[in-house]
Amino acid sequence: MKSSEKWSTEQRIAALCSVLVLWAVAITGRLVQLQVLQHKELAAKARLQQEHKNPVPAPRGTIFDRFGNPLAVTESVSSVVVDPKHIVNPDLASGLLASLLNLDRNVLLEKIIRAKRLGRRELVVKRRATTQETKNLVDSHLAYVAIRPDTKRVYPNGEIAAHVLGSVFRLKGPEVGAAGVERRLEVVLQGQDGEESVLADVGHHDIDSELRTAARPGTPVTLTIDERLQFVAERELKAGVIAKNAERGSVVVMDPYTGDIYAMANYPTYDPNLPATDPKDHSRINLGAMAPFEPGSVFKVITLTAALETTKFRPETPVATGGGSLKLPGRVVHESHHGYGTITMQQVLEKSSNIGAILIGQQVGRKNLYDYVRRFGMGARTGLPLAENRGLLRPVEQWGSTTLESISMGHEVAVTSAQLARACAVIANGGSLVKPRLVLKRGSVTEPVEPPQRVIRPETAMTMRMMMEGVVLRGTAHNHVKLPGYTAAGKTGTAVIYDPKKKAYTHAYNASFMGFTPVTNPRLVIVVTLNGTHGDGGMGAAAAAPVFQNIALEALRMYDVPKDIPEDYRAKPQPKGQILADLAMPLSKSSVMEEAGTLEKLLAEEPVKIDPDYVPPSGEAGRKPPVLLAGLTPAEPLPATPAAPAQPVIPDFRGMSLRRAVAEATANGLELQVQGSGVARAQIPGPGAPRKSGERIRVVFGK
């Protein structure tokens, strides 16, 4: 009995030892399996549970003005993220988060429920939360909430240069340019996000992090915009639009030699810090680059320039404009008020004679006029890094029977303010077409100035300078542009707005003024356009010219431009009734209907049929327009100068040295106002003009 009991005890001990051995073997085997055979697989699973990767947002490149003032910067902010799996009560969580983050509770609840159903471990609740919102969340100690680093684009000056800068939007990932420079230079401004590895505890709370890849910021961009002048341009444009009850307007200020855009203003404007909410809100459209319009009489500058280069016209050449109306095929064109009779080419520009411009355009001819309109950059984008409209300019083959006459006075063609600024710069810089420049530097690399293209002769540009100065001294802008101590030149323009829905011209105008200052050494080209003005006060001279004046005065002071005339200098006023508005508008019913139909096609950019009545010219055998000069028959050539009048006239000083010009003036009892040095290039009044007692002759000399 005792032996049996002893063996039984031994057996029990042996069995226990066997169990222990088997258990140890099993544990060892399991450890080998976990630590050796499945180590990589299990380690990867552990990393997935304990670690996650977060993007490190890269800031967009800062945008500066030409003097280094920031126009668009990127700030470091935070985004709020939740773990839907750790949210036990979505209804309670959505209510709490909505109150802390100023969100819509119902929308947030729907997002959380959907994320839980899909098994997502991370849901972005709000991007770019404010500092106070982030603090409120941290103080709440919500286990399912995490704060992630983020960036936010900020425009410190609000509305200033909004249309140039544009804005950004964000759906997923980094902010992306939505308009303006932000969009066109997206590749330059957009940085490259980095990446960090974050170690989390069992509650999915971050406890440590390691930077894997550093974020690479975007390249900074320096614009040619001058923040100070941009502010002035926007202020004066707004005041002008409101004063004239216009619908909108634009201003472009440009260096005529380099093409640098100092300011590009539009009204109405917007704050790019605020998201766009209304798809029909047109305040975000850059009118200066995107909104083409019929320019009206400012276009006469191109018509007369073409005449100086392709015909024998000179500023003193007389033009028989008749009694104020001109009959064309199917239409009658009238002057704004009454006829001018026979006036000089210079006076055609100063008085903005529609008939005079048409008669001169007829002598230029279709092909030549089209060529010069293209030379001045019309019908093509200027090349700015912005969304641009090329405007409307049909090929000669698609011109109608009176398209030549319409374009001569600025109708049947559509341009943008940026195109007008480039065209005006051709006259200001001596005859070259420059490419407008908006980007000064990309990073530390200065953008090159593209070589200008010679499009007209220097002497032609000088002559047009003096003729455009006459518009300010004696013409339509005489009472509206005063720059004490500085000369200025320009051209007013007024075009009646066509309504394509009603298929008729309205009583609203596109009022514009393009000009430059000072005349002898132009530093600034300024184009002002107000759309939707009304009445006599809404024409180019009364509406747009004062805006030009106010901007020019501030700009000349800012850039410390030397004065070129005495401050108390005043040109002699024209006789009462001689300064008239420059309304380029056909007044007869048939004329209105014909242009209405044509313009509707233009604005809709529909194909226009070739005029079957038009026969292209073939050398001297081509169809010739009627002769314009008084007293000439169609067989007579155009003279370079008019016949000598009976009364004493102003001599021609052009081409003379300063000493010879002074001697000539003294011999004739004339008083000269000398400007510059070298050889006489231009004079006002022009050669052959009637002499007036005590009149001073202004002569400009150049190398």
Per-residue HEC secondary structure of 350-410 comes to HHCCHHHHHHHHHHHCHHHHHHHHHHCCCCCCCCCCCCCCCCECCCHHHCCCCHHHHHHCC
CATH number at residue 673: 3.30.10.20
DSSP string computed for 62-114: PEE-TTS-EEEEEEEEEEEEE-GGG-S-HHHHHHHHHHHHT--HHHHHHHHHH
Q: For the range 587-593, what are the long-range contacts, defined as Cβ-Cβ under 8 Å and sequence gap of 24 or more? A: 587/332, 587/333, 587/334, 588/331, 588/332, 588/334, 590/330, 590/331, 590/332, 591/328, 591/330, 591/331, 591/332, 591/333, 592/504, 592/505
In a domain? residue 293: yes
Domain edge (last residue) among 181, 199, 223: 223
* Residue span of the structural domain in which 678 resides: 644-703
Q: Are residues 655 and 585 in the same domain?
A: no
CB 386, CB 165: distance < 8 Å: no
Q: Are residues 210 and 235 in the same domain?
A: no
pLDDT at position 603, please?
A: 42
Pairwise CA distance, residues 438 & 421, whole Å: 13
pLDDT at position 262, please?
A: 98
CB 259, CB 422: distance < 8 Å: yes
Q: How many domains does the chain have?
A: 4
CATH number at residue 548: 3.40.710.10
Of 533, 515, 571, 526, residue with least CA distance to 551: 526
pLDDT at position 677, please?
A: 74
Q: For the range 653-657, what are the long-range contacts, defined as Cβ-Cβ under 8 Å and sequence gap of 24 or more? A: 653/680, 653/683, 653/687, 653/697, 653/699, 654/680, 654/681, 654/682, 654/683, 654/687, 655/679, 655/680, 656/680
Of 184, 167, 159, residue with least CA distance to 277: 167
DSSP string computed for 18-49: HHHHHHHHHHHHHHHIIIIITHHHHHHHHHHH
Compute the radius of gyration of the chain from its Cα atoms. Answer: 37
pLDDT beneath 70, residues of the chain: 1-7, 34, 42-54, 171-172, 196-211, 337, 568-647, 667, 693-694, 703
pLDDT at position 110, please?
A: 87
Q: Are residues 121 and 198 in the same domain?
A: yes
Q: Are residues 682 and 613 in the same domain?
A: no
Token digits for 529? 């356009």
Q: Are residues 430 and 562 in the same domain?
A: yes
Token digits for 171? 């759906």
CB 434, CB 259: distance < 8 Å: yes
Q: Are residues 653 and 599 in the same domain?
A: no
Cis-peptide into 573, omega within 30 deg: no
pLDDT at position 268, please?
A: 95
Q: Are residues 552 and 409 in the same domain?
A: yes
In a domain? residue 24: yes
Pairwise CA distance, residues 557 & 551, whole Å: 10
Residue 484 contacts by C-beta under 8 Å, 6 or more apart in sequence? Answer: 567, 568
Q: How open is the CA angle 269-434-455, to the nearest 5 degrees?
A: 130
In a domain? residue 377: yes
Report the Cα–Cα distance between both ends of the chain, in Å, rounded.
141
Quote the crossing angle between the two packed helices 90-101 and 131-140, to the nearest 10°.
Answer: 140
Strands 206-213 and 432-433 come out as unpaired
Pairwise CA distance, residues 396 & 392, whole Å: 13
Quote the crossing angle between the two packed helices 90-101 and 105-118, to the nearest 10°.
Answer: 130
CB 638, CB 313: distance < 8 Å: yes
pLDDT at position 334, please?
A: 85
CATH number at residue 185: 3.90.1310.10
- For 300, 681, 699, the CA distances from 654, given in Å and listed in that order, are 24, 5, 8
Cα of 155 vs its chain's centroid, Å = 18
In a domain? residue 255: yes
DSSP 246: -
Q: Are residues 402 and 521 in the same domain?
A: yes
Q: Are residues 450 and 471 in the same domain?
A: yes
Total-model pTM: 0.75
In a domain? residue 46: no
Q: Are residues 408 and 501 in the same domain?
A: yes
Q: Are residues 633 and 619 in the same domain?
A: yes
In a domain? residue 498: yes
Strand partners, 526: 253, 515
Q: pLDDT by residue (tens digit) across 145-162?
A: 888 888 889 999 999 999
Residue 10, H or E segment: helix 2-32
Pairwise CA distance, residues 152 & 448, whole Å: 31
Q: Are residues 468 and 522 in the same domain?
A: yes
Of 185, 172, 183, 187, residue with least CA distance to 57: 172
Quote the crossing angle between the two packed helices 300-310 and 354-364, to the nearest 10°.
Answer: 40
In a domain? residue 42: no
CB 122, CB 81: distance < 8 Å: yes
Token digits for 231? 């502010």
In a domain? residue 48: no
Task: Count CB-CB contacts under 10 A for residue 658.
Answer: 17
